[in-house]
Chain A
């Protein structure tokens, strides 16, 4: 079962490895990121960061989609992490079981506007978010479980869209 798809450009870090994995009770963390899939240093860093109780799988976005759709893993409690709303849209489009998307950490770059301290979005990100909503996904912004989640309307208000 897919517990959550988190969008976080740091992929595996403290908030993800410790807080969300524990909060969700996930036994499996799947990273869907093309760079991490081939970068040995990132893989080493993520492997020592991942909690010992969870199985960590580092995949390309395409590989993550195959893992999510593989019925063999259905009994697992899977927490999926990808780095951008565009990657998240691709996953939501191809994985009917991914219906909860949480924007957790998207740092400032280029034209991105501040929504919260940890999340900045540009027009392309917003289009990807709209795309996920159209596909029936519930998209929220929430960096930590004890913060109240922002819905898409609140996200748009916050960045003036």
Chain B
């Protein structure tokens, strides 16, 4: 079962990052975009997010991804979370996180909520560890040992 993804961002970031998702994964999940402009109030943003959630197939788990915790995108999502408690809400949208969440084997239904939350937490952590100076990231993986001409891995 695919995950429904609702991307909530300042302006067109959500639309743009969907083209990145598509390049790498194709179309793995139903998606919906909420692009917040300077004209919207927080309750309006919340109504837009709610509309996006309600437009998707309720048989799938729904994940709402917002861009920054300190923005109206996330504030709107917090308002919605009270009214749509079955959805999952994650802040810090980036491509690594989006790819991982698109592939995450979430399960539908309230019984799966705790295990779904654990998966989402783990994924957020993994995504966080992918942010840094490239020098530091490559130093973290160390040197490749072994003989490239041998039959050992």
Which residues of chain A have a CB within 8 Å of any CB of chain B? 14-15, 18-19, 22, 28, 30, 37-38, 40, 43-45, 47-48, 52, 55, 57-60, 62-63, 66-67, 69-70, 72-73, 144-147
Contact = CB atoms under 8 A, between A and B. Distances in A.
Given A22-B103, A48-B137, A67-B153, A59 B26 contact: no
B153 A19 contact: no
Contact of B150 (A18, A63, A146): A63
30 contacts: A14-B24, A14-B99, A15-B23, A15-B24, A18-B24, A28-B153, A30-B153, A40-B143, A47-B141, A48-B137, A48-B138, A48-B141, A55-B153, A57-B153, A58-B148, A60-B148, A63-B149, A63-B151, A66-B149, A66-B151, A67-B153, A69-B151, A70-B151, A72-B151, A73-B153, A144-B25, A144-B26, A145-B26, A146-B28, A147-B26
Most chain-B Cβ atoms within 10 A of its Cβ — which of A28, A48, A147?
Answer: A48
A146 B27 contact: yes
Nearest to B137: A48
B129 to A, nearest CB: 9
Contact of A47 (B126, B138, B147, B152): B138
Interface of chain B, helix or strand or loop or mixed? Answer: loop
A37 B148 contact: yes
Which A-B residue pairs are the 5 nearest by beta carbons? A66-B151, A37-B148, A146-B26, A14-B24, A70-B151
Central interface residue in A28, A47, A67, A72, by most chain B CB within 10 Å? A47
Nearest to B22: A144
B52 to A, nearest CB: 23
Interface residues of B, number: 24
Given A48-B138, A147-B26, A67 B148 contact: no
B38 interface: no
A60 B151 contact: no
Given A43-B144, A47-B141, A48-B141, A19 B151 contact: no
Given A44-B141, A47-B141, 20 more contacts: A14-B24, A15-B24, A30-B153, A47-B138, A48-B137, A48-B141, A52-B126, A55-B153, A57-B146, A57-B153, A58-B144, A62-B149, A66-B149, A70-B152, A72-B151, A144-B25, A144-B26, A145-B26, A146-B27, A147-B26
A14 B28 CA distance: 14
Contact of B99 (A18, A30, A59): A18
A50 to B, nearest CB: 9
Interface string B72-84: 0000000000000
B25 A19 contact: yes
A44 B138 contact: yes
